[in-house]
Amino acid sequence: MIDFYTFTTPNGRKPAIMLEEVGLSYTTHKIDITKGEQFTPEFIAINPNSKIPAIIDHDPGITVFESGAILIYLAEKTGRFMPQDLEGRTKVIEWVMFQMASVGPMMGQLNHFKRFATEKIPYAIERYEKETYRIFGVLDSQLSEQDYLTGDYSIADMATYPWIAAASFAHVTLDNHPNLKRWAEMLGERSAVQKGMAILQ
């Protein structure tokens, strides 16, 4: 059994998609980050960085935090959605790291400065919007000759999809990136993706 600590954010939805894809039994625990529940001593004991998501896998007694690390852990635990050969495995991890280092942080900053900052700073909005669209271009190019980010459906796609699905929340569009838009629509039709995206709702 896996205890899954999360909230309704793109990062919080990524492991939910994987858990649904592989069919592992899990219990979802809501950590309401709008109420500061991530800073309780109980949750800090699970993730010292006070961020969702995190899991406790009681079978081997392992705790994992950071969404990308959770995806890699679950892929290695189940032997699914991660190639076994060195080159294929490296490619998947490469694109998971691209999501962790680029897609999430840039879109997250854009969300902050566009939607939540009390002072609207044109320079910051322009900077992060421009970088978000540059990243969309990278993804669109990667998907120009293949259905998924690394060829076959993998945790790289699961890591990236919830952020792309939230594009409209940041007031950006996929209209000029047809391959990325096609990919997002295709993933959105998967039952496990739909269930993972609907956590806590």
CATH number, domain containing residue 90: 1.20.1050.10
Single out the residue in 49, 80, 111 at which a domain terminates.
80
**Among candidates 182, 196, 178, which has minimal Cα distance to 53?**
196
pLDDT for the residue 201: 86
pLDDT in tens, 31-47: 999 999 999 999 999 99
Strand partners, 33: none
User: Has residue 155 been placed in a domain?
Assistant: yes
**Among candidates 201, 198, 200, which has minimal Cα distance to 5?**
200
Helices (H), the chain: 10-22, 41-44, 67-78, 86-98, 104-111, 122-142, 155-165, 178-187, 191-197
pLDDT for the residue 170: 86
pLDDT for the residue 70: 98
For residue 22, give every residue at least 6 positions away whose Cβ sits within 8 Å of its Cβ, in sequence order, or none: 74, 78, 80, 81
pLDDT for the residue 54: 98
Instruction: Name the domain count of the chain.
Output: 2
Q: Which two tokens stand for residue 187?
A: 């993933």
Q: H or E stretch including 27? A: strand 26-30
pTM for this entry: 0.96
Single out the residue in 62, 80, 98 at which a domain terminates.
80
CATH number, domain containing residue 19: 3.40.30.10
pLDDT under 50 in the chain at which residues?
Answer: none
Single out the residue in 80, 110, 134 at which a domain terminates.
80
